[in-house]
Amino acid sequence: MPDATRYVPPDGDLDDLREAARGCHGCDLYRHATQTVFGEGPADAQVVLVGEQPGDQEDREGHPFVGPAGRLLDRALAEAGIDRDAVYVTNAVKHFKFVERGKRRIHAQPGRTEIVACAPWFEAEMRIVRPRLVVCLGSIAAKAILGQSFRVTAQRGKLISTEEYEVIATVHPSAVLRAPDRTEAYSAFVEDLRAARSMFPTGLPGTGG
């Protein structure tokens, strides 16, 4: 099965990775998407946030979490005391997967093949950033990092140790937007982000505290 490996430069910084990822043909998603949406944030960030894949607006603008889910995420991060500028924000899959309904492009869930194909990019990002904590936003990200058997519903907000970093999984901000009780879903989401923030009692660099 082809994957992104042969497109990932063996060394270099985040800008080199981002540049190389523009030309990735590691799976078929590049064919219909506008552009690769790579991770963004400080190379020395202690915290990484990982989503599923860019959405419609991210695909057009070329930046992660700038659409409706991103706006909710920004608000929740601020409420949890996390400065978005201090964290590295990326996605498990770096191209937008969608189906066309008339003029609209509707999000389609990435499959196992695409998630596995794109993993070398995330691994390369983590080799450079070397975070202490990775926050998985939603089950696609959580399964990509913690394995297929991981269940966000059972283990959200709990600290999980891996060899490279600690992990906390929570729901995807889009799921908060779609929740029947949005207020409750939003509070629970902020609560999970507070759990992440509490790993850094003296503050995150860039938070001013």
Positions touching ligand SF4 (CB under 6 A) are: 4, 21, 24-27, 29-30, 36, 93-95, 114, 117-118, 121
Nearer to ligand URA, 46 or 91 (CB): 91
Q: Return the structure tokens found at 108.
A: 């389609």
**Rounded distance, CA 54 to CA 56, Å?**
7
CA 205 to CA 25: how far, in whole Å?
A: 35
Three-state DSSP class for residue 48: strand
Q: Is 46 in the site for ligand URA (CB under 6 A)?
A: no
How far apart (Å, rounded) are the C-alpha atoms in residues 174 and 181?
Answer: 13
64 binds ligand URA (CB under 6 A): yes
Q: Residue 103's CB: how many other CB atoms inside 10 A?
A: 5
- Which of 47-55, 120-128, 177-185, 197-205 is the region at the interface with ligand URA (rule: CB under 6 A)? 47-55
Among ligand SF4, ligand URA, none, what binds residue 65 when CB lies within 5 to 8 Å by partner kind? ligand URA
- Measured in degrees and rounded to the nearest 5, phi and psi for residue 72 equal -65, -40
- Minimum CB separation from ligand SF4 for residue 206, in Å? 27
Residues that bind ligand URA (CB under 6 A): 51-55, 58, 64-65, 67, 69-70, 91, 174
